[in-house]
Amino acid sequence: MWDEAALRDPHGQPDKAQRVAAMFDAIACTYEAVNTVASLGRDAAWRRLAVAAADVRPGDVVLDICCGTGDMLRAFGRAHPGITRLIGVDFATGMLRRAKCPPKPHADLLRADALRLPLADASVDVISCAFGVRNFGHLQAGLDEMARVAKPGARVVILEFAMPDHPPWRWACRWYCQVILPRLGAWVSGERCGAYRYLARSIAMFPKASELAELLRAAGFVRVTLRRLNFGVVVLYRALRP
């Protein structure tokens, strides 16, 4: 699935979407466990910060793209049980089958590609995507699709990994991603599809935080801000639809 040839340019593979979907199907049953272990439990705190940044209001419709097993959906549900509608979208069937949704509000799970959301124009108030934009088949097309379904005034929050700017932390992050993470992920999950080697390469070869901010602006979003977490290893992006 992710052999060394494909990993030389993971974002440039013409069948990237199919590879990523199959990869997540393969690791779905251990996905959340690996996240918790690999982040030393910090992943839950990052999601809480993203939910707080979304500024959810009464009557909002909230869309979580690349919802996976539902961790962001549950974070929204715990913080805002009065949300009018909660929607989760993912293209990996295995992840959706194992998704655990909040008891309130009811969450609608849709199997779809983030580049072709099955939603009407200007139909959602909040869009979130936690560690998913890096997996889009085409990054700008995915951001443009977010803009299409966002209502005027909609808030967008994105969590994504990044390489830190500070050289010592960048070296430490690169070493952890390339040496520790693939072994740790394979040990916890038992996967043999190269998922955690893909994770390391996809982070290293993904656009810088400032470049992703510019792509959000190119999609039509405004007031784009960045908040670097854990020494810059994770970035919380926030943007508005004018």
Write out pLDDT tens, residues 6-38.
889 999 999 999 999 999 999 999 889 888 888
Domain ranges of the chain: 4-240
pLDDT given for residue 104 in this prediction: 85
Mean pLDDT of 173-200: 81
H or E segment at 224? Answer: strand 222-229
Tens of pLDDT along 97-135? Answer: 999 998 888 899 999 999 999 999 999 999 999 999 999
pTM for the model: 0.94
SS (H, E, C) 144-199: HHHHHHEEEEEEEEEEEECCCCCHHHHHHHHHHHHHHHHHHHHHHHCCCCCHHHHH
Q: What is the pLDDT of residue 40?
A: 83
Tell whether the model's pLDDT for residue 242 goes beyond 80. Answer: yes
Read off the pLDDT of each residue in 90-99 and give the average, rounded to a whole number: 96
Q: What is the dotted CATH code of the domain comprising 4-240?
A: 3.40.50.150
